[in-house]
Amino acid sequence: MSRTLVRRAFKYRFYPTCAQAMELSRTFGCVRLVYNKALAARVEAWNCGQRRVTYGQTSAMLTEWKRREELTFLGEVSSVPLQQTLRHLQGAFGNFFAGRARHPRFKSRKKSRASAEYTRSAFRWRDGRLTLAKMNEPLAIVWSRPLPEEAEPSTVTVSRDAAGRWFVSLLVETSVDHYPPIATAVGVDVGVTTLVTLSTGERIANPRHQQKDQERLARAQRTLARKRKGSANREKARRKVARLCARTADRRRDFLHKLSTRLVRENQTIVIEDLNVSGMLRGGRLARLISDASWSQLRSMVEYKAVWHGREVIAIDRWFPSSKTCSACGLRVDSLPLSVREWTCRCGAVHDRDVNAAKNVLAAGLAVTACGDGVRPTRHSLARQPSQPPFRG
């Protein structure tokens, strides 16, 4: 059986001591400050003289910032996370100029994710115990699943979410077994009421995790709005809202992991539609339901798991009329409103809208592959061309 060598992150929850929590909180603040100052320097250099600032130049700036009296606290935390955030900024600009992402934005203390990345020189891994730089005790990690045997982390990312939970992500290099080859192929049509409809006729209902806790979340948000800004009670109310949101996100992620694993395990070829999900979320009555369904997250999981286990994913054109085409005779109807869930073709075939679409998605994907012009999953550009960078001062 063949295997694939992959870099895989294992995320665990941990419970820091008071001293560790204070040290990590200081590190998060310094990482955010360095990122924002470096980004501001890059923006100013471009606005003033159309100059691009490199990683090496921002690294020299960091050394200079540490010498300032008002920024001496930058030298009290580990230097590795500060250097790593400069590398992340360099990568963000690289993606921006390559047209793969939007222009980097400044990090907010309240809204941005609090995290810090440590490389091998800034942590000690010994006998399954992880100790970070500037700390005397190892982290109290809850090992919810074992690490691969003889795997040693190359980088460690520590984060704290809005609900106050602490997580550590260990990046290791490990091998993943390919599933045995099979002759099964499936077309996948995503929806709101039914999350996934397969070309086999099977339907997988949308759990609607957000809707289940919508009343509790709305009540908690109203309570938060009544609290005085800056008070301890407002912070307690904010944490309650964050915990409800985190609970919904955890349930959704767990469900999508199980669904994507099943699709990859049971099928050699998976055909999907290249939907413009971000465009669908910009407006309309279904925006909240589409967001709760997380089609993009499901697609991402299917794609990387297929690569790991030797499967194939094919994405067909988003403009392909899968719902309006008869899967029996190929006739295309002119109009088919969303309210029409079942229709009859002139050939006499009676179609369920979603099952028919999934069958057409599968046929289109297999036809393109048979012609030797396989369509691979592609992400559409979110950024403007590098010749017109929207820098802001």
Any idea which residues carry the catalytic annotation?
189, 273, 354
Name the DSSP class of 282.
T
Structural element, H or E, at residue 273? strand 269-273
Q: Decide: 70 and 30 in contact? Cβ < 8 Å.
A: no
Count CA atoms within 13 Å of residue 90 on its CB side.
13
Structural element, H or E, at residue 387? none
Using DSSP, state whether 86 is helix, strand or coil.
Answer: helix
C-alpha to C-alpha distance for 95 and 139, rounded to whole angstroms: 34
C-alpha to C-alpha distance for 272 and 313, rounded to whole angstroms: 8
| 272 to 198, 268, 275: CA distances (angstroms) | 10, 13, 9
Start-to-end C-alpha separation, the chain? 55
Tell me which amino acid residue 136 is. N
| 80 to 66, 104, 174, 206: CA distances (angstroms) | 14, 21, 25, 43
Q: What count of other Cβ atoms lies within 10 Å of the Cβ of residue 93?
A: 20
| 210 to 242, 267, 291, 305: CA distances (angstroms) | 13, 29, 9, 26
Q: Which two tokens stand for residue 25?
A: 């909180």
